[in-house]
Structure formats: C-alpha cells, structure tokens
C-alpha cells in the first residue's frame, strides 16, 4: 500500500491531464479508483506511465504481429521500471481503405494527437507499419511534444513461385502486368497470389512502409537498427523490448520530438530517401511531419542534394533485393556509414547520443552486395527528381531510379483521361487511339480531386499495347503511385487539376515535353490558348457526400502535395526553419 494521500495530485503519471471535475484531488481519486479495478496497485501507479499505441486490426495484416510487439514492448517497459498501458487508435491498411489510405492519414494523425493529449502518459511508444500509419503517428507526436519513440512492425518474408523468389508488391505489379498482357493465365496468377505475401508484415521491397521505416531511423526518432528486422523475427521482438526500455528513459525528459526532428535531421532523412531509392510518397509524408513543426521542405533544395546523393541500396523496385537482404547486409547503420560524409552527424537521436556517436558505436562493416559504397552506386543520382515548368509550376516529381532511360527525355502527344472513372472505362478499349510514344495524362486524382490522392498515377498500360510487348509508357498525373511501383511516371503535379491547375487544361493531342536532365515538364501549347482554356474551365461537380462529416473537413482544409497534403489548420502557424539547409 502507498503511504501517500490518494487524492494528492502530482505532475507525472496518473495525475497528468486530469478530467475536469473542478477538484483536482477528486479527479485523481476517481481515476485511481477505476484503474485499480483492473487489479493495479499503488506501486504500479506510482511508476512512469508509458503509453503504447495499438494499431492492430483484422483488416491490417501489415500489423499482424501487433500482439507479439505489444508484449515485447511491455516487457521492456517493466524491466526498466515503468508501467505500460496500451491504447487503441485508427489502423489503416493500404489495400483495405476506400477511397484511399491517404484520405485517412490526417484522420489517424488527429486521432493519435488527441489521445496523446487526453491520456495520462509520461512517454509513448508509437507502433505502426503500413504506409500511412507511421507518418500519421509522427505528425501527431510532432504536434503534441510528448516524449515519443517510433517502432515499426517490420517487413514480411518473401515467398517462392515456381522456383522464383517473389515479394509484395513490386512482384505483384509485375505478375499482374504479365497477366494483363496475356503472358500468363488465370491459374498461374492465382498461384502467385498465394506466394507474394508469405507472412504478416509490411511490403518486402522498398515501398512506402519500408521507406518510412528507414526514414524514421534516419530522423533519429527510432532506435538504431530498428528499421530493417522482418516482422516475424527474433530481432524484431528484441528491438521492441529495447524500445520499451528506452521509452522509460525518455519519461519526464526534455528529449521530445521537437529536439530530435530538426531541419538538420530532416535533411539527413531526405538524403536517406534519395539513397534508398525510396517511395515518392516519402517526400509528401516528410513534408507533412516537418510542417507540424513549422519546417519548410524546399523542393528545389531537395533536388539539389539529389544530384549529389546517389542510390546505394539494391532493392526492388530500383534494384533486385528485398528488405530481408537489407537487414542481413547491416540495415540502416551500414547505409548511414556509407552516407556519413553527406550527413549532419551532430543531430540528437532518441538514445540521447548524436548520430555520429551512434555510427561510431555501430557494428563493424562486412562484405555484402546490397548496400553499395558512394564510389559504386546503383544509380548516380538520388532516386527522386523534382520537375518544374508551365505544366507544374508548384512542382512535380519522378522516380528516376525506377524509370526507363529511353523515356527520360521525351516529347509526345497527350492522351487525356479526365478522371479515374474515364481512365478505367477507356484504357483497355481496342478503339483507344494511343501508341507507345504517346503520353498518358490522368486528371482529378490529386488531394481534392479523387479525393485522397490515390496511388492511381501508376496507370495500367493499355491492354493492346501490353499485348504488343510495351512495358513502359510516359504517364503524368496529379496523383501518387505506390513505392513498390516502377516506370516513367510523373506524379504530384501541383497545383492539381481539381483546383484549376495547368493539368486541368491539357487536351488530347497536345504536345508535352519531359526532360529529366533539365528538370523540365512543359505543355507545348501557346500561352494565349492556355489563357482561353483557363477562362472556359469550370470546376468538376462535387462528389456525393461532400457536404458533411469528415469528407467536408478534408475537402475544405487539405493542402497540396508540396505542403504534404496535411490539413491547413494543423500545420505550425509560424515558419521555424527550412530543409535541406
């Protein structure tokens, strides 16, 4: 039994954020009475309270190891003398969210932020994995300022199809493309469907989930070595236990996200995004997280550092290997060692040590073929390039490390689809007037247009071209594509078509020029003609459901891609810095 008066409020643990009854002592008394109903003692309640966000869901196989991770984190918390308390939040899976997971990212960030504010915890372990969950959690943590540490769920294992190693989801798209081209039959596509996802966990290639896992370790908000262990391995469980221990060390400390997520840390993360051939979604998410702290991500500066930061990681879709191989090759610590000359080593990490100190203490290098040295890169520049021109005055991006070299300098005729429904209806029509040198343009899949900026920028190659052996065609949209996808695909065209951006004015037959070398994306139409089209343009009719609920909030406040697609009222009201420096 505790000798302290049960009603005496203290400024830690159970006394944080007391419910408003007009009497703080009674509020704490009542709170303790209810929590003791779960069998907890005063001794337990006097310890640092570590919240653990539980994002498990039967609709989220990427988080299928959540029970084991929760147990390991709790073990670590208790070994370090804390009291672990789990709490649920929204869980989002890329393939189980309509209209798109990006539409729900900000809602999850809001949910998580309010729970971090409302619940009495001294520090929090944020467990996420699937694409939008980790960004949502870090957006929330950045806004609240509670000591926080990120734990990712880890990647799935690879499978085997007729002797070939396969994994989600680059190989999903490759086999589906072969099926559309009638190179394989329904029986084989069903067989491969059983093998692409061999266990729970996130995609086994350098998709968005793996990208964000690497990025959060680069930011310093997750433990060193935590990005790469696969979901079902002992290494992942040990990292979870260590994360729980570290959360107790953070409790009551000044090492909050604001002291870790600095402009220098974001520059390190952006360099890692470039060096891993990471998902194009990474730039949107990093921009959103930084925006919560008032830090502006400068796309032109990002492109500048991209020219000096090569792709070093040989993982699909930019290379050949999988996340299991990246982990066995040394993971992020091995990559950061290679990038050391380009990094800010004085940034603080979640351990209380600087990045430089962590790299000095990292395991010794060894021979492997997954992570290249700077002198022998996979791709000479960073994986992502920023494009500008009269078609994208606010910028657009292309994943150049996964594009076809023959299409990187290209001029062609536009074949325009007005929206996703138009594209779905006509793309496989044998009467569609399109050739391999044409440029597919898809409108209305931006943040507001879809809504939710779906990963439909990876437009399917028209079936008649696929049957003829066409493997790639230049595609342009205001939407996104999966980090697991590849091809010569221009994305995030800003401003989007739905708000009258230049993309809205493109018509079939117009000429478009792409020059990745010059970072140019131009609509080759006379300016006077564009002005006439702009004068005639009318916004699309609102979709059903736009007038109420979350959709109304989303449509009225979501920002453009260059601002991270966050809600405008959640971004920090002041500019506190810029990155890259």
User: Which of 194, 220, 244 is at the close of a domain?
Assistant: 194
Does 474 reside within a domain?
yes
Of 461, 455, 418, nearest to 439 by C-alpha is: 461
Query: Does the pLDDT of residue 66 top 80, yes or no?
Result: yes
Confidence of residue 13 (pLDDT cuts 50, 70, 90): confident
Range of the domain at 474: 388-544
Q: Which pLDDT value is given to residue 236?
A: 99
Q: Which DSSP string do the residues of 270-322 spell out, in sequence order?
A: HHHHHHTT--THHHHHHHHHHHTTTEEE-HHHHHHHHTTS-B-B-BTTTSSB-
User: Which of 146, 172, 194 is at the close of a domain?
Assistant: 194
Confidence of residue 53 (pLDDT cuts 50, 70, 90): very high
Residue-wise pLDDT for 290-326, tens only, equals 999 999 999 999 999 999 999 999 999 999 999 999 9
For 153, residues 6+ apart whose C-beta sits below 8 A from its C-beta are 62, 63, 65, 66, 69, 127, 128, 129, 130, 201, 202, 231, 236
Confidence of residue 417 (pLDDT cuts 50, 70, 90): very high
Does 379 reside within a domain?
no
Residue-wise pLDDT for 86-132, tens only, equals 999 999 999 999 999 999 999 999 999 999 999 999 999 999 999 99
Q: Pseudo-torsion of CA 230, 233, 236, 238, nearest 10°?
A: -160
Residue-wise pLDDT for 154-208, tens only, equals 999 999 999 999 999 999 999 999 999 999 999 999 999 999 999 999 999 999 9
Q: Which pLDDT value is given to residue 252?
A: 83
Q: Which pLDDT value is given to residue 3?
A: 41
Query: Does the pLDDT of residue 232 top 90, yes or no?
Result: yes
Does 305 reside within a domain?
no
Does 395 reside within a domain?
yes
Q: Mean of the pLDDT values across residues 569-578?
A: 97
Does 334 reside within a domain?
no
Does 33 reside within a domain?
no
Residue-wise pLDDT for 463-513, tens only, equals 999 999 999 999 999 999 999 999 999 999 999 999 999 999 999 999 999
Q: Which pLDDT value is given to residue 561?
A: 98
Residue-wise pLDDT for 245-289, tens only, equals 999 999 989 999 999 999 999 999 999 999 999 999 999 999 999
Confidence of residue 2 (pLDDT cuts 50, 70, 90): very low
Confidence of residue 9 (pLDDT cuts 50, 70, 90): very low
The per-residue b/e assignment along 30-55, b for 16 or more CB within 10 angstroms, e otherwise, is ebbeebeeeeeeeebbebbbbbbbbb
Query: Does the pLDDT of residue 345 top 60, yes or no?
Result: yes
Q: Which pLDDT value is given to residue 44?
A: 94
Give the Cα separation of 485 and 308 in Å (integer).
Answer: 24
Q: Mean of the pLDDT values across residues 421-429?
A: 98
Question: 117 — phi, psi (to 5°)?
Answer: -80, -35
Does 113 reside within a domain?
no
Give the Cα separation of 222 and 152 in Å (integer).
Answer: 9
What element of type H or E holds 412? strand 409-417
Q: Which pLDDT value is given to residue 4?
A: 44
Q: Mean of the pLDDT values across residues 364-392?
A: 97
CB 387 within 8 A of CB 478: no
Give the Cα separation of 119 and 324 in Å (integer).
Answer: 37
Indicate the average pLDDT of the chain: 96
Give the Cα separation of 149 and 523 in Å (integer).
Answer: 45
Give the Cα separation of 258 and 253 in Å (integer).
Answer: 12
**Segment among 74-83, 540-549, 555-564 with least mean pLDDT:** 540-549
Confidence of residue 542 (pLDDT cuts 50, 70, 90): confident
Give the Cα separation of 459 and 441 in Å (integer).
Answer: 9
C-beta contacts of 527-536 below 8 A and 24+ residues apart: 530/390, 530/502, 530/505, 533/505, 533/507, 534/500, 534/505
User: Which of 194, 212, 237 is at the close of a domain?
Assistant: 194
Q: Mean of the pLDDT values across residues 535-554?
A: 93
Of 361, 382, 464, nearest to 415 by C-alpha is: 464
Q: Can you give the pTM of this predicted structure?
A: 0.96
Q: Which pLDDT value is given to residue 196?
A: 97
Does 439 reside within a domain?
yes
Q: Which pLDDT value is given to residue 11?
A: 42
Q: CATH number of the domain that 421 lies in?
A: 3.50.30.80
Domain count for the chain, please give it: 2
């Amino acid at each position: 039994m505790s000798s302290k008066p049960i009603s005496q409020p203290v400024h830690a643990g159970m006394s944080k954020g007391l419910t408003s009854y007009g009497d703080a002592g009674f509020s704490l008394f009542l709170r303790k009475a209810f929590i003791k109903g779960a069998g907890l003692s005063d001794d337990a309640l006097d310890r640092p309270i570590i919240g653990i966000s539980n994002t498990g869901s039967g609709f989220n196989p990427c988080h299928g190891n959540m029970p084991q991770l929760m147990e390991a984190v709790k073990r670590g918390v208790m070994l370090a003398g804390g009291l672990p308390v789990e709490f649920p939040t929204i869980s989002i899976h890329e393939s189980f969210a309509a209209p798109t997971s990006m539409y729900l990212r900000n809602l999850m960030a809001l949910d998580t932020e309010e729970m971090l504010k409302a619940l009495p915890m001294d520090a929090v372990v944020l467990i996420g994995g699937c694409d939008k969950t980790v960004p949502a959690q870090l957006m929330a943590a950045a806004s609240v300022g509670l000591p926080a540490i990120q734990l990712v769920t880890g990647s799935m294992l690879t499978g085997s199809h007729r002797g070939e190693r396969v994994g989600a989801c680059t190989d999903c798209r490759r086999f589906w493309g072969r099926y559309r081209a009638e190179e394989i039959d329904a029986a084989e596509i069903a067989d491969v469907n059983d093998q692409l996802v061999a266990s729970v966990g996130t995609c086994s290639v350098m998709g968005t989930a793996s990208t964000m896992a690497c990025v959060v370790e680069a930011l310093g908000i997750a433990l060193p070595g935590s990005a790469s262990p696969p979901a079902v391995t002992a290494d992942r469980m040990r990292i979870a236990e260590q994360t729980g221990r570290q959360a107790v060390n953070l409790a009551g400390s000044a090492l909050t996200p604001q002291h870790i997520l600095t402009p220098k840390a974001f520059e390190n993360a952006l360099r890692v995004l470039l060096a891993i051939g990471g998902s194009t979604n990474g730039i949107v998410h990093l921009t959103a997280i930084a925006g919560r702290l008032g830090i502006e991500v400068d796309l032109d500066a990002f492109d500048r550092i991209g020219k000096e930061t090569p792709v070093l990681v040989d993982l699909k879709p930019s290379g050949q290997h999988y996340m299991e191989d990246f982990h066995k090759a040394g993971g992020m610590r091995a990559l950061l060692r290679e990038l050391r000359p380009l990094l800010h080593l004085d940034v603080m990490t979640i351990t209380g040590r600087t990045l430089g100190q962590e790299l000095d203490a990292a395991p010794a290098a060894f021979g492997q073929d997954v992570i290249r040295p700077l002198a022998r890169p996979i791709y000479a520049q960073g994986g992502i390039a920023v494009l500008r021109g009269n078609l994208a005055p606010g910028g657009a991006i292309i994943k150049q490390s996964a594009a076809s070299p023959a299409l990187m300098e290209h001029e062609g005729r536009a074949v325009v689809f007005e929206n996703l429904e138009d594209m779905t209806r006509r793309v496989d029509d044998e009467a569609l007037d399109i050739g391999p040198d044409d440029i597919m343009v898809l409108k209305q899949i931006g943040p507001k247009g879809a809504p939710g900026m779906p990963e439909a920028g990876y437009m399917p190659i028209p079936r008649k071209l696929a049957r003829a052996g066409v493997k790639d065609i230049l595609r342009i949209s205001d939407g996104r594509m999966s980090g697991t996808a590849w091809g010569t695909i221009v994305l995030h065209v800003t401003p989007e078509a739905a708000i009258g951006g230049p993309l809205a004015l493109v018509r079939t037959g117009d000429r478009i020029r792409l020059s990745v070398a010059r970072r140019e994306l131009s609509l080759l139409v006379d300016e006077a003609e564009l002005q006439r089209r702009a004068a005639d343009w009318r916004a699309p009719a609102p979709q059903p459901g736009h007038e109420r609920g979350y959709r109304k909030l989303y449509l009225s406040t979501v920002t453009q891609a260059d601002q991270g697609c966050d809600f405008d009222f959640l971004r920090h009201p002041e500019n506190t810095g810029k990155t890259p420096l």
